[in-house]
């Protein structure tokens, strides 16, 4: 193994500097600092403790959102919605939830929702919510993410039953 010690490495004009080849691992030494490399640039978090309910079979806002301003157009935003209680009080139906950026559903393709709580027996069912989406907004403008939810068949569905608290977090992943 050899050691190369230099102060600056620049790529040839008009080209890209590549460290290692496909299948190789490049390791940074302890205490080395750098930029990029998929580091987390910022974390924005919001907790909602009020109850929300709907009988709508179309998505409605939970009024729970976070706004983050990416530092680069190449940044990705990891959005999570965790906690609280999702409640169903009917039988043989589901409650769906998803994440919107502005007016666009970015959590799923189609209408079902990527968080789905299904109730198939009589009685109550309370379960914590858990949703994640990795978004590429391609902007450096303030970007708002909001949780939406809906009932499958018009029976009451709840977002954050019991005021336990639902936390929504947006993390900027630097390119």
DSSP per residue over 97-115, as a string?
Answer: EEEEETTEE-S-SSSS-SE
- Tens of pLDDT, residue by residue over 26-43, are 766 666 666 556 689 999
Residue that the structure tokens 């680069």 belong to: 72
pTM over 0.95: no
Expressed in angstroms, the distance from the first to the final Cα of the chain is: 30
DSSP-based three-state secondary structure for 161: helix
pLDDT for res 144:
98
Question: Given pLDDT bands bounded at 50, 70 and 90, which one contains residue 167?
Answer: very high
Domain presence at residue 104? yes
CATH number at residue 104: 2.60.120.760
**85 is in which domain, residue-wise?**
40-173
Domain presence at residue 29? no
For residue 163, the 8-state DSSP code is G
Averaged over 152-156, what is the pLDDT? 81
Domain presence at residue 20? no
Q: Which residue has the higher pLDDT, 2 or 163?
A: 2
Domain presence at residue 60? yes
Rounded Cα gap, residues 52 and 62, in angstroms: 6
How many percent of the chain have pLDDT more than 70? 73
Domain presence at residue 5? no
Alpha helices in the chain (DSSP H): none
Distances (CA, A) of 175 to 12, 35, 45, 76: 22, 9, 21, 7
Provide the mean pLDDT of the chain. 81
Domain presence at residue 6? no
Residue-level length of the chain: 175
Structural domain count, the chain = 1
Report residue 102 as tokens: 């502005």
Averaged over 54-66, what is the pLDDT? 93
Q: State yes or no: pLDDT of 23 exceeds 90.
A: no
């Amino acid at each position: 193994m050899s050691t190369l010690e230099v102060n600056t490495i620049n790529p040839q004009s008009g080209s890209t500097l590549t460290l290692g080849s496909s299948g190789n691992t490049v390791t940074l030494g302890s205490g080395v600092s750098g930029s990029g490399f998929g580091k987390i640039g910022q974390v924005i978090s919001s907790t909602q403790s009020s109850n929300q309910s709907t009988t709508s079979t179309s998505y409605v806002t939970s009024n729970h959102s976070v706004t983050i301003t990416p530092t680069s157009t190449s940044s990705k935003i990891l959005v999570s919605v965790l906690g609280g209680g999702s409640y169903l009080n009917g039988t043989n139906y589901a409650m769906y939830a998803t994440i919107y950026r502005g007016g666009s559903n970015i959590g799923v393709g189609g209408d079902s929702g990527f968080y789905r709580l299904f109730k198939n027996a009589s009685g109550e069912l309370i379960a914590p919510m858990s949703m994640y989406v990795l978004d590429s907004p391609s902007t450096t403008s303030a970007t708002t993410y909001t949780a939406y939810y809906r009932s499958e068949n018009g029976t009451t569905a709840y977002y954050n039953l019991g005021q336990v608290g639902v936390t929504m977090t947006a993390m900027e992943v630097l390119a």
